[in-house]
């Protein structure tokens, strides 16, 4: 087994823990340097998962301080996943744990709770390996997992990808036709839109709340025009890419609530979109 064999899964783990592909790549580089200097490793994959998890825990603690000074709401860095860059998405847990909305909810957790939750829920690791990764007892990791699940108790139930795509198509049609009444009806009364411009481009500095306000905000963006709108697999599910001048300027992901939309994540920070390509429709 080579490092390249396990790299996608490790990148997927680091990304789920950090919400940033750039930071996840840095962690993997450091993990590889440590592996190159290590001897007597019996289980390469498990050893690397432990190193990556512990490096991410250190990074999460400093990242929280940086995000407190972030201009406006912080959203994760969107990643296209159709190419398997973050590892295989063979289970619903692996796919759902990549969604922008899920990553935002994980911000509620302490670094240790987040690691225990991701390792157990997304990767289904046995408690003994979770304990090794976190340098804790298995009993302690179970307690972290219970606390994490409690903090995420109000998370929406996962929606199948096909249903998400159908809802996204309806949403796109209503926005494209500037159908304010139809778009408002598609949104739940308490719908919330969170936009991340990173203090560089125009974006709402606070969440936009309420179906009417969200609908008007979206139609205001649409009225400014764009060269193209594509549907691509982003973070394990369908999302909209707004393209201007050959570059992605916005990524929009919906949070479904049955056949309506209860939340929207809109990423416009240029630094978070630089790695996205176009013409990668799903």
Q: What is the CATH number of the domain that holds 96?
A: 1.20.140.160
In a domain, 156, yes or no: no
In a domain, 108, yes or no: yes
Both 118 and 236 in one domain: the answer is no
Both 147 and 189 in one domain: the answer is no
Report the alpha-carbon distance of residue 244 to residue 227 in Å, rounded: 5
- What pLDDT sits at residue 64? 75
Both 216 and 106 in one domain: the answer is no
Both 70 and 122 in one domain: the answer is yes
Both 143 and 83 in one domain: the answer is yes
Both 29 and 68 in one domain: the answer is yes
In a domain, 168, yes or no: yes
Both 52 and 135 in one domain: the answer is yes
Structural domain harbouring 106: 3-151
In a domain, 119, yes or no: yes
- What pLDDT sits at residue 41? 81
Per-run averaged pLDDT (10 residues), the chain, 282 residues = 86 96 96 87 91 96 79 93 91 93 93 98 97 97 98 88 95 96 98 93 91 96 90 95 93 94 96 79 51
- Name the nearest CA neighbour of 55 among 84, 86, 23: 23
Both 245 and 167 in one domain: the answer is yes
* The domain boundary residue, chosen from 151, 180, 209: 151
Both 131 and 168 in one domain: the answer is no
In a domain, 280, yes or no: no
- What pLDDT sits at residue 280? 46
- In total, how many domains does the chain have? 2
Is there a contact between 261 and 186 (Cβ–Cβ < 8 Å)? yes
Which residues have CB under 8 Å from 132's CB, separation 6+? 46, 50
- What pLDDT sits at residue 278? 67
The CA angle 24-25-28, to the nearest 5 degrees, is: 90
In a domain, 173, yes or no: yes
Both 227 and 248 in one domain: the answer is yes
In a domain, 281, yes or no: no
- What pLDDT sits at residue 203? 87
CATH number at residue 191: 3.10.450.50
In a domain, 12, yes or no: yes
Both 174 and 265 in one domain: the answer is yes
Residue 57, CA distances (Å) to 125, 174, 263 in order: 17, 42, 28
């Amino acid at each position: 087994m080579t490092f390249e064999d396990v790299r996608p899964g490790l990148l997927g783990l680091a990304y789920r823990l950090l919400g940033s592909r750039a930071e996840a790549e840095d962690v993997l580089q450091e993990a590889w340097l440590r592996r190159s200097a290590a001897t007597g490793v019996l289980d390469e994959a498990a050893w690397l998962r432990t190193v990556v998890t512990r490096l991410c825990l250190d990074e999460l603690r400093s990242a929280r301080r940086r995000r407190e000074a972030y201009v406006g709401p912080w959203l994760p860095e969107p990643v296209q996943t159709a190419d398997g860059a973050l590892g295989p998405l063979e289970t619903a847990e692996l796919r759902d744990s990549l969604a922008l909305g899920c990553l935002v909810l994980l911000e509620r957790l302490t670094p240790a709770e987040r690691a225990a939750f991701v390792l157990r829920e997304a990767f289904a690791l046995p408690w003994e390996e979770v304990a090794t990764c976190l340098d804790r007892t298995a009993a302690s990791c179970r307690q972290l997992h219970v606390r994490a699940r409690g903090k995420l108790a109000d998370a929406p139930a996962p929606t199948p990808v096909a249903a998400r795509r159908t809802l996204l198509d309806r949403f796109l049609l209503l926005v494209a036709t500037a159908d304010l009444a139809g778009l408002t009806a598609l949104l739940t009364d308490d719908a919330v839109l969170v936009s991340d411009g990173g203090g560089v481009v125009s974006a709402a500095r606070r969440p936009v709340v309420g179906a009417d306000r969200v609908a008007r905000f979206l139609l205001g963006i649409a009225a400014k025009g764009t060269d193209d709108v594509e549907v691509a697999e982003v973070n394990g599910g369908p999302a909209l890419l707004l393209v201007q001048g050959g570059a992605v300027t916005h990524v929009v992901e919906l949070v479904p609530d049955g056949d309506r939309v209860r939340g929207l994540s809109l990423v416009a920070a240029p630094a978070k979109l630089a790695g996205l390509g176009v013409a990668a429709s799903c």
